[in-house]
Amino acid sequence: MISVEWDTMLNPSVQIMNIQHSKIAECINTINDEIVDMQHSCTHINGLLDQFEQLCQMLFMYEEQLLEEVNFPSVAEQKHLHDLYLKSIEQFKAENYQCHTASFFNGFIKLRVDFLSNMNKETMILCDMFMNNSRGDTTVTSH
Ligand SMILES: [Fe+2]
């Protein structure tokens, strides 16, 4: 099984986000393992998907808070992307009861890829920006 690995080179100022990412990665890997292991119940897997959604929700809320603090120009667009992603997790749960089927597995791979390629990349951009903004200053100033 391929594990998700995370860049741990983040500035301490965004360490909370790093911890959140680690928890999400752990959750993604657990769900992945349970889908391919027939011994796990679909109810349990759906519970893990709830947990995954909650973790994403917390990460996004924190991100949005940081974006507002640094006056990010497209906060609304970011919030929209987050909402769409949370909705895609919700829909994935609602539409699938056959949790060990190939289609369910492929659906989860798509969620993983979307998180890694879009959500994570965009978070890294935010972290870079946050680091640059707070360089030479220990706090991000509000106005
Ligand atoms: Fe984001």
Residue 122 domain flag: yes
Residue 95 domain-assigned? yes
Residue 138 has pLDDT above 60, yes or no: no
Closest residue by Cα to residue 129 from 3, 9, 14: 14
Domain of 30, CATH number, reads 1.20.120.50
Number of domains in the chain: 1
Residue 141 is predicted with a pLDDT of: 41
pTM attached to this predicted model: 0.79
What's the pLDDT score for residue 97? 65
More confident residue, 39 or 10: 39
Q: Is 115 within the bounds of a domain?
A: yes
Range of the domain at 25: 14-130
Å from CA of 88 to ligand 1 middle: 15
Q: What does the alpha-carbon distance between residue 143 and residue 130 come to, in Å, rounded to a whole number?
A: 16
In the predicted structure, residue 115 carries a pLDDT above the cut 60: yes
Most confident listed range (66-75, 81-90, 111-120, 128-137)? 81-90
Is 52 within the bounds of a domain? yes
The span from the first CA to the last CA of the chain, in angstroms, equals: 48
Alpha-carbon distance of 71 to 120, in angstroms, equals 20
**75: CA distance to ligand 1 center in Å?**
10
The answer to whether position 75 is within a domain reads yes
Q: Residue range 120-124: average pLDDT?
A: 76
Using 50, 70 and 90 to split pLDDT, how confident is the model at 86?
very high
At 107, list the tokens: 């659906």
Query: Rounded to whole angstroms, how far apart are CA atoms 54 and 68?
Result: 21
Between the CA of 73 and the centroid of ligand 1 the distance, in Å, is 14
* Residues in the 5 Å CB sphere of ion ligand 1: 63, 122
Predicted confidence band of residue 71 (pLDDT cuts 50, 70, 90): confident
Q: If you measure from the C-alpha of residue 119 to the centroid of ligand 1, how many angstroms do you get, rounded to a whole number?
A: 5
9, part of any domain: no
Question: From ligand 1's centre to the CA of 32, what distance in Å?
Answer: 22
Average the pLDDT over 48-58 and give the result.
96
91 versus 6: the higher-pLDDT residue is 91
Give a yes or no: residue 138 inside a domain.
no
Distance CA 25, CA 116 (A): 10
| Ligand 1 centroid distance, CA of 38 (Å) | 33
Distance 11 CA to ligand 1 centre (A): 17
> Is residue 38 domain-resident?
yes
